[in-house]
Amino acid sequence: MTSTLAQDGIRLVSAYSERAGIELATTSFPDVILLDICSSGSDGFDTLRILRENEKTKSIPLIGLSGSSSNPDRVRAFGVGAMDFIAKPFDINELMARIHNAINVAKMMQLLEHKAQLDGLTGLWNRAYFDTRFANELNRAQSNNMNVGLALCDLDHFKKLNDSFGHPFGDLVLQAFARVIRRELDEEDIACRYGGEEFAFIFPEKELKAVTDACERMRTVVASRVWRAHPDLRVTASFGVTTYGLGSNSTPASWLAAADQALYRAKSSGRDRVQVFEGN
């Protein structure tokens, strides 16, 4: 199988026990897992269940191989989480076709998942993505004693802008601000539309000054923008920045509360500014 699949551009790595197979799958991140359901010395259905429950392997398409072609085995394999099932002895060309099909389906699912995490208007990450990503980045920073920054942003008086110039123009402002964000942030920074005219930014491995500098760049650029349809209009943004949680707590909610408190101070102090959280 290894030599035959290699001719079709598929590299096969093998393990011959449940433990070795699970370890291989969780460390090599294959495009597809081929699992012999009835391999000697283990119950392949148990192995399949473990792979489907593991965060590292649950999304990898899995094809079950079995010497049994009975319908109950097929049903059980699909019920536990196999994407496909093929009985032995099998035609190698059929197996290659099924492998390529599994890869294509997985790519389509990844594309759909990616699109589901994007905001349709601005093309930035959405709130659901932010919630997951910030929790992960905060955990990574705390586990490895690294810096991380968080900023919340509001476009000032945005409701008044919508009421005065209409929602289509408001959408254009949001899209223009998203372009500013992409230009001014570094590649590793994470920008999300938090909701409405609100935005959230994650700054992995950055100290406070680098975070505030990035926010100042965005604030300055959007404030100096001349809007062709309304040349007298000046759109501004307020930012709340933190590098630790409210009450020095380490939960995502406490960090959001700290950034929100700083944002409130920025808005109550006149807007169009970057305010750093200064503690309780």
Task: State what percent of residues in the chain have pLDDT above 70.
Answer: 97
> pLDDT tens across 152-188, in order?
999 999 999 999 999 999 999 999 999 999 999 999 9
DSSP bridge pairs for 200: 152, 192
- Active-site residue numbers? 197
Confidence of residue 39 (pLDDT cuts 50, 70, 90): low
What span, in angstroms and rounded, lies between the C-alpha atoms of 198 and 267? Answer: 13
> pLDDT tens across 8-37, in order?
888 888 898 888 989 999 998 899 999 988
Q: What is 127-276's CATH number, 3.40.50.12280, 3.30.70.270, 3.30.70.2190, 1.10.10.10?
A: 3.30.70.270
What span, in angstroms and rounded, lies between the C-alpha atoms of 131 and 135? Answer: 6
Task: Supply 175's token pair.
Answer: 């899209």
Q: Where are the domains of the chain?
A: 2-116, 127-276
pTM over 0.85: no
DSSP bridge pairs for 65: 36, 86
| 27-36, 65-74, 94-103: the lowest-pLDDT one | 65-74
* Interhelix angle 208-223/167-184, nearest 10 degrees: 140
DSSP bridge pairs for 86: 65
Q: What is the mean pLDDT of residues 138-150?
A: 94
Q: Tell me the CA end-to-end span of the chain in Å, nearest whole number.
A: 64
Q: What is 2-116's CATH number, 1.10.10.10, 3.40.50.2300, 3.40.50.150, 3.60.15.10?
A: 3.40.50.2300
The C-alpha R_g of the chain, in whole angstroms, comes to: 26
